[in-house]
Amino acid sequence: MQKLRVRYAKRGRLRFTSHRDVARAFERALRRAGVPMAYSQGFSPHPKISWIGAAPTGVASEAEYVEVQLVTAVEPAALAAALDEALPPGLDVLEVVVAGHGSLAERVDAAEWLVELPGITEERLREAVGRLLAAESVMVSRKTKDGSREIDVRPALIRVEVGEPAVGRPAVGIDMPPGAGPCGILTMVVRQTTPAVRPDDVLSALRVAAALDLPVPAKATRLAQGRLDDGEAVGALSDPLAQDRAASAG
């Protein structure tokens, strides 16, 4: 049995697709591509697929991860090409590696986000971010199927900056047409907590801490997932597939 780890992107209109629909699309694509999947035992067998921290509905991503188990070994590059061809445009396979030792989930404890805020000037956004970071606690209310839940957003924020993402990050593009007005750009690293703090929670925290009201909905894109680096760079994330590449190369 072979285990492979897949990094894929969720782009364009597909960002509005729920995780359940993404999972169904992957299962159909795996069958269409003829991938020799391993299946669970029991009355209703299902393919052995494990999802790592799926992005919320309405959010784009350049760093989604899924593990698949096969009954026959395949070449990762060949599977990447076949799976990408079978998936709908907007679900794009970026990399496939053979899984090494250790759990992929244990290599992820934070995410880096880029949020585009049309109609918000950079000056106003900087002021709002400053007030948010100066607060020790910022409580927001999130609607759930069981009612409202209060979440403290501030402890999860490792780094929040105004401006373009760091060099080397994927270019996600800005949807604002020329002459459409200001568009604030927010980049941030958010630690995984329970419950998880999502981009819309951070925007709610900006409204609570600095009365920042958005004239139109924001667009959020996950740029990276990984483990927080203990080095000097605040909010630097390690690549969760780096160990697997090294093991394959060795």
CATH number (domain holding residue 170): 3.30.70
Poorest-confidence range of 138-142, 190-194, 227-231? 227-231
- The predicted model gives 225-241 an average pLDDT of 82
Q: State pTM to two decimals.
A: 0.89
pLDDT-derived band at 45, boundaries 50, 70, 90: confident
Q: Do 170 and 99 have their domain in common?
A: no
Poorest-confidence range of 116-125, 144-153, 171-180? 171-180
What rounded mean pLDDT belongs to the chain? Answer: 90
More confident residue, 176 or 46: 46
Answer whether residue 141 is part of any domain: yes
Answer whether residue 171 is part of any domain: yes
Answer whether residue 93 is part of any domain: yes
Task: Please determine, for residue 176, whether its predicted confidence score (pLDDT) is greater than 80.
Answer: no
- The predicted model gives 19-42 an average pLDDT of 93
- The predicted model gives 54-78 an average pLDDT of 95
pLDDT-derived band at 200, boundaries 50, 70, 90: very high
Q: What is the pLDDT of residue 43?
A: 82
Residue that terminates a domain, selected from 60, 89, 106: 106
CATH number (domain holding residue 87): 3.30.70.580
- The predicted model gives 46-59 an average pLDDT of 92
pLDDT-derived band at 170, boundaries 50, 70, 90: very low
Poorest-confidence range of 97-106, 171-180, 238-247? 171-180
- The predicted model gives 148-164 an average pLDDT of 91
Answer whether residue 92 is part of any domain: yes
Residue that terminates a domain, selected from 106, 125, 157: 106
Q: What is the pLDDT of residue 168?
A: 47
pLDDT-derived band at 233, boundaries 50, 70, 90: low
3-state secondary structure the chain: CEEEEEEEEECHHHHHCCHHHHHHHHHHHHHHCCCCECECCCCCCCECEEEECCCCCCCEEEEEEEEEEECCCCCHHHHHHHHHHHCCCCEEEEEEEECCCCCCHHHCCEEEEEEEEECCCHHHHHHHHHHHHHCCCCEEEEEECCEEEEEECHHHEEEEEECCCCCCCCCCCCCCCCCCCCEEEEEEEEECCCCCCCHHHHHHHHHHHHCCCCCCCCEEEEEEEECECCCCCCCCECCCCHHHHHHHHC
Q: What is the pLDDT of residue 30?
A: 95
Encode pLDDT of 3-26 as tens digits. 999 999 999 999 999 999 999 999
Answer whether residue 250 is part of any domain: no
pLDDT-derived band at 232, boundaries 50, 70, 90: low
Instruction: Provide the domain limits for residue 179.
Output: 110-226
pLDDT-derived band at 42, boundaries 50, 70, 90: confident
